[in-house]
Structure 1
């Protein structure tokens, strides 16, 4: 049994622009004893299901400005929290968090909920993991469209000095001030919104997942996740589905250059929508991105 902490429910009460009832799974194969949280909004029989995958060090709250847009379009939205984040349980041993631990969780969740006609919506680690999901034979037939923001496919090379500095910063600050980090990255964020990003983490003991993610980024060829990411590159280079890319240009690590690399990888991907006043957490402008993506998808399939 994996030792894990569970953030008290009262930490999530009264968060701004967040009135979604929590949904939980507690018996996913391989994750018995761990409770996974996800948002499930919109009709269960919708034509399109939007699978929203967050990154470091956020949770489903990151997508609060996109969820209502997708639901209003008639879609179903499923936004899971990775283990170690949000309302999902938080294993205390940092060694538990591996590439496969996170990836397999997403696959089991999709299978359990039997999600179909998926529009895969990814950012940061949501992309590093999510873009490899089609390598699973059970996931590929469920995939319909892609919306990617400030992310990439990691194949064993460093994103650059900016990332190395970030990785070192997290090591030096094990009790990472998540809300303050978001506030610095998104100056328009209110104090209450910044506090919502802190909500999952009552103290440093809840932050093993936050500390782990930067160390897991595949910056060396032998790291776990590199081989399947290279396979994913080949998949996306021959994919024939619709895609939409957006990027906050102020992101020093996964900004315009990174998204241009992803555009060249994804067959038929258009030039990214560039938000010059946004950074890494471009979902804080998510209403703009979601509307533009829906308009582009409608043009592709009128």
Structure 2
């Protein structure tokens, strides 16, 4: 995992208070509208409601010795052998998971021979930065497969 991931994970664990919308905003290339930010914050109005978002980064196995590692590796083994169509769609500016795009295109059997979009000018949260474009790519993929 890139260093930015580890900084994010630490920030979520220690932020007093946890501002979910701020973290989502930090993963976007575009400015979120106030009502969108409010929607991200709405389910988590106070610390007593924030256990889920605080725990989420810790659920991602990010070291080889992570307790979830064996299950993660077993899932990877299964996913890489499936012959079902597999769309790889990332932005050109995702600092957290963008590096997985070429690995997924190469490793997933179902990705072979398919066109995989790279959404330009977006960040980690494609649904916010380029939702309509991403939707068109997904619709075209579903229609063609």
Residue aligning to 2:86: 243
User: Contact (CA 8 Å) 1:263, 1:271: kept in 2 or not?
Assistant: no
Confirm whether residue 188 of structure 1 aligns to residue 5 of structure 2. no
Q: Could you say what the CA RMSD is over the residues aligned between the two structures, in angstroms?
A: 1.8
- Per-residue deviation, 1:266: 1.2
Confirm whether residue 273 of structure 1 aligns to residue 117 of structure 2. yes
User: Contact (CA 8 Å) 1:244, 1:272: kept in 2 or not?
Assistant: yes
- Per-residue deviation, 1:237: 1.9
Question: What TM-score results when the alignment is normalised by the length of structure 2?
Answer: 0.85
Question: What TM-score results when the alignment is normalised by the length of structure 1?
Answer: 0.43
Query: For the structure 1 residues 271 and 174, does the alpha-carbon distance in structure 2 shift closer, same or farther, using more than 3 Å as the test?
Result: farther
Query: For the structure 1 residues 238 and 290, does the alpha-carbon distance in structure 2 shift closer, same or farther, using more than 3 Å as the test?
Result: same
Unaligned runs of 5+ in 1: 1-158
Secondary structure, counterpart of 2:25 in structure 1: helix
Distance in 1 between the 2:22 and 2:8 partners? 15
- Per-residue deviation, 1:298: 2.2
Secondary structure, counterpart of 2:118 in structure 1: strand
Unaligned runs of 5+ in 2: none
Distance in 2 between the 1:209 and 1:299 partners? 37
Secondary structure, counterpart of 2:5 in structure 1: helix
Residue aligning to 1:227: 70
Deviations for 1:212-241, whole angstroms, at most 9, x for unmatched residues? 111222123332321122112221222111
User: Contact (CA 8 Å) 2:61, 2:72: kept in 1 or not?
Assistant: no
- Per-residue deviation, 1:272: 3.2
User: Contact (CA 8 Å) 1:242, 1:297: kept in 2 or not?
Assistant: no
Secondary structure, counterpart of 2:44 in structure 1: coil
Paired residues for 1:28-47 under 5 Å: none
Residue aligning to 1:179: 21
Confirm whether residue 252 of structure 1 aligns to residue 95 of structure 2. yes
Secondary structure, counterpart of 2:13 in structure 1: helix
Structure number with the higher strand fraction is: 1
Residue aligning to 1:200: 43
Number of aligned positions between the proteins: 141
